[in-house]
Structures are given as structure tokens and as C-alpha cells.
Amino acid sequence: MGAIMMVGCASWRGPRRAFLLGLAAMGALGVTLDQWRRWLARRAFSLPSPDASRWALVTGASSGIGRAYAVALAALGYHVILVARRWERLEAVAAQISEAYPVDTVTLCADLTTPEGIEAVEEIIRATDGLSFLVNNAGFGLSGPFATVDFERVLDMVQLHIVATMRLTRAALPGMLARHHGAIVNVSSLVTHYPLPGQATYVATKCYLRAFTEALHQELLGTGVRAQALCPGLVRTEFQASAGIQRRLPSFLWLSPEFVVQRSLRHLAEDRVLSVPGIGYRMLAGLAGVMPRSLLYLIGNRFGMSKGCDGSPMR
């Protein structure tokens, strides 16, 4: 019996070793192919040198991720159109950019929760020859049970996160497609992987942005135009600070807007449709795809309404 078992074990070791070696080889091949794809993507898509024809438009540009994106794009040579509701903040960001970089700046004070505000931005998009980069960043958080939260604010959120993004993207695409070059970044959130009670509308609108961008990315393959859904976790912004969230969570969880934007640009050059800055947050996003739904709900309950956050706990 012992001899039979030894033979059986020996006969199993061979196929098992071959199987494991095969898995390792497939993994190595996958990594190699992914690196090769990213190298080709970087070769095929380049961010511009300064010239008179490259323009970028950033919504929510007065602070946080929007401001960081405006500064980063100006550093890359883009002339920038800054859109936000706060005029003084817009002018301050424009002045900072003009002092630091040899690019033009345009400011537009617009409320994208209103049809008039969206139309004003659509008009400037269509009037700007050479608009090559669009960042749909404007957004806000809304906390509370869906049954009792201010429904006008719910509608404002849908208008801002979904309707404005669709309309501005639709306005920008024809010119980009005609020039065979361009990029659209829609700021979504890591919360698209984790359902958060008390954040139902916020999570739903950010899920829409992610799904919309992934589908759009596939539509744009081969056109020279790229689309990315930026899905950051916790980001140090004025909103988070005013809500007191930064004081309640460990400092190592927080990312700076500048870090988030630099990773977004790097991932865009690699043609990654989903950008999740920070290795810890990438792991969380990956784990969400294999976790049982019951565990996702437990995590959501831990960081949703039970945290008592006034607004979105993640961007």
C-alpha cells in the first residue's frame, strides 16, 4: 500500500509541477505582454509640447483635483480653460499658472448644475479650436438616507455628475476625432467598487461615470482619442477638511491631489481606462472584484452612514 501511495504521489508531482510551471509561465507572459502594450501605448500617444493650438478645459478647477490638473496640464504646455463657480478662486489659479508657465489661461464662472451653466461651457468648447484635453472633475458629496435627503440636491448631483459630463464630452469629441488626438478624463471614485449606505446617489452617479467611460474608451479605440475614469480613494481636499474627515482617519490613507493627477496622466499615457492611484487603493479595487457581496456590504456599512461622514468619504 505504501509503495502504491508513493508511486501515486510521484505520478502526481510531475503533472502538478508542470501545471504550476505553466501557470508561472502564463503569468510571466501576461506581465511581459502588458508591459509591451504600455510601451506601445506611450509611443502612440504623446502629451504635447507648448504651441498655440493645444487647449485643455478643466471643470471644478478652483481647488483640489481640478486645480492640480490645471497646473499639471499647464506645465505640460497646454493652454487652459478653467471652469468653476468661485470667481475669485478661479482668478487666483489662473494668476498662479500665468506666473509659472508660458501658456494662456481663460476663466469661466459657471454652475454646471444648471442648463445655462452647461450651455456656457459647451459654447466655449465648440469655439476653441484645438481643444485636446477635457477633465470632467466638478462634483460634490451628499450624505444621508435617500428617503430623507434633500431631493433638489439629489437632482443637482445627477445634473452635475452625469448630464454635464455627457454634454461636455459630446461637445468636445467631434473636434478631437477630427484631429485624431485628444483625451477625456472623467473623475469617478473608488466607491464605485464598494456600496456605501447614506451615499446612494453619490455612488450611483460615480458608477455611471465609470461605466460610461469604460464603454466610451472601447468606442474610441484606434481613433487617437483616449478616455479614462479616474477612481481615487481618499484625497486631501478642502471639502474633506471642512467635513472633519481627515481628523477621523489615519494620515497614511490620504493622497495629495498632485499625486493623484500625476498618476492619472501616467496611466493615460499607458492607455489604462481605469486609473486608481496608490498601490493600497489598487489592491482594494482588485479585491472588490473577488469578494463575496456580503463582505462588500459589511465594508460599505463600516465606511458609509455608520461613520457619520458629512459628504463623500472618498472622492
> Which residues form the catalytic set?
202
Q: How many residues does the chain have?
A: 315
- 284 contact partners, CB below 8 Å, separation of at least 6: 190, 193, 194, 233
Q: Is 247 helix (H, G, I), strand (E, B) or coil?
A: helix
Give me the amino acid identity at 47: L
Alpha-helical regions (H) of 80-164: 87-100, 115-127, 151-158
CB 84 within 8 Å of CB 62: yes
CA 195 to each of CA 139, 220, 294: distance values in angstroms, whole numbers, following the listed order: 18, 29, 11
Q: What CA–CA distance (Å, rounded) separates 310 from 143?
A: 6
d(CA 300, CA 190): 12
Cα–Cα distance, 75 to 77 (Å, whole number): 5
Core vs surface per residue 125-135: b (16+ CB within 10 A) or e: beebebbbbbb
Residue 15's contacts (CB-CB under 8 Å, 6 or more residues apart) are none
